Amino acid sequence: MRSTPRPRRFTIDEAREAGYSTQEELVYAGFAKDFKEWLDQLSCIDAKELGLYSCAEARAAGYLVGLSAAGYSCAEALEAGYPVTDLIAAGYTCADARAGGTTCEEVKAAGYSLAEAKEAGYPLPELRAVGYSCADAKDAGYTCAEAEAAGFSLTECRRAGFTGKEVSTQRRASVDRRAAKTGPGDGEGGRAPPGRRASFSVTIPAGVNPGRAHRIERIALRSASLIVVLFSRSGSAGSSSRRCSTARSRR
């Protein structure tokens, strides 16, 4: 007597190929026992394509790697409760993090480099404020001038690895800017009176070549700035002397 062949047991993958796609269809077709094991074998991308999980459910199921590749946005991940420290492991770039609303402080906590933050569009002064160093700025491709403008001192720039020439050039540029803004005034202490701006002009003799003329002008600007400082100090000292001699005469 011939035995009746046992019906063949289909796998969930074969059921998917046959057209069963949703969780309900698979459970209804008798795959309830195998469903948990099958889910454990699914990648985050497969689970998202099947529509099995929202981002919050994906987090509850333990998914992390491949979260970005599966199509969940960084904003969805953060809203679902993923911490910022998981963003890199989940595959999100710093630009993704910025689009998701993360702050500079959160970006640093997540472990993104300053170079990545720069590419994402975060401003250097804000990155400096949350703890990125001048050396980080240099490694990210910022110039000495940009680093100083963001609030780093020239001493920090030198320690960060900028060359002596770069730092000296920036120091001269800073002096030139201050001199251009100041100039010798005609008010008390070398300052222009309220409502008036101190100014002066430099006359370059005819026939001087442009390169030398530019150097002369720069020297004149620096000298003018120094004169203002010295005049201000001497004015204060003179006032003090006058006050002292008056006090002595009264005694």
Distance between CA atoms of 215 and 54, rounded to whole angstroms? 67
Kindly list the domain boundaries of the chain, sorted by start residue. Answer: 111-162, 164-251
- Element holding 243 (H helix, E strand): helix 210-250
Express each pLDDT in 31-59 by its tens digit.
Answer: 444 555 656 667 888 878 877 789 998 89
State how far the Cα of 251 lies from the Cα of 238, in Å rounded to an integer: 20
* Residues ≥6 apart with Cβ < 8 Å to 139: 113, 114, 115
Q: For residue 7, what pLDDT is reported? A: 43
Residues of the chain under the 70 pLDDT cut: 1-41, 182-211, 213-214, 217, 221-251
pLDDT reported for residue 38: 59
Q: What is the pLDDT of residue 226?
A: 57
Taking Cα atoms as reference points, which of 61, 52, 60 lies closest to residue 71? 52
**pLDDT score for 201:** 60
pLDDT, position 53: 85
What is the distance between the alpha carbons of residues 173 and 43, in angstroms, rounded to a whole number?
57
Buried b (16+ CB within 10 A) or exposed e, 206-245: eeeeeeeeeeeebebbeebbebbeeeeeeeeeeeeeeeee
